[in-house]
Amino acid sequence: MDIYAISDLHLSLGTDKPMDIFGWGDHTKRIRENWCNRVKDEDFILIPGDISWGINLEEADPDFAFIESLPGKKIISKGNHDYWWSTRRKFDRYCEEKGYKTIGVLHNNSIIVGNYTICGSRGWKSLDDEDFSVEDDKIYCRELERLKISLEEGKKSGKELISMLHYPPFDSKHKPND
């Protein structure tokens, strides 16, 4: 079993927002080809956010069907562009209804993967961002608490921790933040 990570898929199979406009030609095709050339069914893939451009699960469904069709077991978490996201419980129910068996959610929890425990949170932009606002501070603090909850739960497993974050845990000078 190997563990891979890929972020910012920005899939748009159910919306009209192709990544070609950002210079990502044949984006979905290239993801599938590279994924299928590397990942085996027993592998785990961490996907820390910005998964789909869909604004709800109905729009995002073709993207999750695509992810489900790929080899490996996937662990997803929220990014800043995941507008489809509501709650972990709703997403778990959605996966059950759709018959998706290879997608799990990391949100205020931890997930054991072999000899490791996966922990994490979305995180938020750095405190030293020039446009960091009072609202950003609220989100930053909430995400920090979510990370603490996930890490505390993960420590109980006694296994080595792997943390997955959408935002890097560094400031603009590459120094660790909270």
The predicted-structure confidence for 82-94, as pLDDT tens digits, reads as follows 999 999 999 999 9
Section 52-59 average pLDDT: 95
pLDDT of residue 21 exceeding 70? no
Cα–Cα distance, 165 to 178 (Å, whole number):
13
CATH 3.60.21.10-classified regions of the chain: 1-105
Question: Which two three-digit tokens encode residue 80?
Answer: 């800043």
CA distances from 2 to 35, 42, 112, 154 (A): 13, 8, 14, 19
| CA proximity to 116, closest of 166, 73, 175 | 73
Q: Is the pTM of this model over 0.85?
A: yes
Q: What is the pLDDT of residues 130-175, one digit of tens each?
A: 999 999 999 999 999 999 999 999 999 999 999 999 998 888 888 8
Q: How far is CA 99 from CA 2, 38, 57, 103, 172, in A?
A: 24, 24, 14, 10, 42
Fold topology of 1-105: Purple Acid Phosphatase; chain A, domain 2 (3.60.21)
